[in-house]
Amino acid sequence: MSDHKNLVISVVVLNYMNYMETANCVKSILSQENADFNVVVVDNGSDNESFTFLKTAFREEKKVSVIRTRRNYGFAKGNNIGIHYARNRWHSDCVLLLNSDTVLRGNDYLYQMMSEISDGIGVIGSRIINGDGTEELAFSDYVDFPATFIWYLYLQVSYWGLEKLRIWCGEKLKDYKSQQILHGSNLLLTPQYFEKYDGLYEKTFLYGEEAILYLYCVQAGLKQKKTDKAVLYHMGKQSTKFLYDNQRSKREKYQLNSYKYVVVNSFKVFLKKIPLKHSKKLWSIKWRKRA
């Protein structure tokens, strides 16, 4: 891996309606030092004055590009539009995806994140301080099949109010453990990630992206890493209040629509592991016979 100081990093910030928070996020990025960076703001189909405001606010900033989509494509595809723009326009080596309701702490956030780039690392995350001052110490999800399938069933029966099935699924889940993964508010996609993929899995609209990103790394033989050297503030749920006003039923519907793709991707990883397990078993049998 080449010296991170020579790498070009693009920061993609996805905006939906919440343009004041997005502007604060971009301002914190522009204060960064010791990094060759640029910023791509993607207005993801907002039907308010977001694009005009952001375009005007940063028209004098050569490092900032403000683009917009025709409609709201969701988290993954919206970020992919920014990623492809950054990679084609700025020839970026790596891309940091930031939620619009985040603010970087200090002027060395980008430098510290990039200093963690090394062989075998696909995605890097940072420390997160929540809006109430607490720290996001761990973020986890079910990523291994069949736990992903059982969790998906749990979400389904909970949504439809099937209490007995919900209890049954809950009991079955006790046999499995969730996996700690990186939080979606900040995700640095490294050069090695882009050797394998050109962006995020974009069939989801909202939710499940972090789990699929973890599974992407597993399939590519890459690891994820969280660093304590870089810190950001994350207000949380700022864009979703515009999307569905944080209503539980609408949130659950988005989860259901997206999480089925987590199941699909986890099943792909599961299938790849089966031949390896079988080959090890056969090898041990042959070895015992020879002995």
The DSSP string of 186-242 is EEEE-HHHHHH-SS---S-SSS-HHHHHHHHHHHHT-EEEEEEEEEEEE--STTHHH
Give the count of domains, the chain: 2
Find the helix or strand (DSSP H, E) in which 98 lies.
strand 94-99
**255 and 132 belong to one structural domain:** no
155 pLDDT higher than 70: yes
**Tokens 């972090």 identify what position?**
210
**31 and 111 belong to one structural domain:** yes
**95 and 55 belong to one structural domain:** yes
The CATH number of whichever domain residue 128 belongs to comes to 3.90.550.10
Query: What band does 236 get if pLDDT is binned at 50, 70 and 90?
Result: confident
35 pLDDT higher than 60: yes
**39 and 164 belong to one structural domain:** no
pLDDT at 281: 55
Identify the bridge partners of residue 127 per DSSP, sorted by sequence position. 231
Residues 101 and 45: their CA atoms lie apart, in Å, by 17
**252 and 268 belong to one structural domain:** yes
Rounded to two decimals, what is the model's pTM?
Answer: 0.90
**154 and 54 belong to one structural domain:** no
**109 and 204 belong to one structural domain:** yes
**74 and 201 belong to one structural domain:** yes
**191 and 133 belong to one structural domain:** yes
Report which of 41, 39, 42, 46 is spatially closest to residue 18, judged by C-alpha positions: 46
**166 and 51 belong to one structural domain:** no
Q: Which structural domain range is residue 85 located in?
A: 4-137+184-238
Strand-by-strand arrangement of the 186-189 sheet: 64-68, 36-43, 8-15, 94-99, 186-189, 121-130, 223-234, 102-104
283 pLDDT higher than 50: no
The per-residue DSSP string of 99-149 comes to: ETTEEE-SS-HHHHHHTT--TTEEEEEEEEEETTS-B----EE--STTHHH
- On whether the CB atoms of residues 39 and 30 are closer than 8 A, the answer is yes
**28 and 73 belong to one structural domain:** yes
Report which of 114, 176, 178, 167 is spatially closest to residue 143, judged by C-alpha positions: 178
**223 and 260 belong to one structural domain:** no
285 pLDDT higher than 60: no
Structure tokens at 101: 């309701």
pLDDT at 286: 47
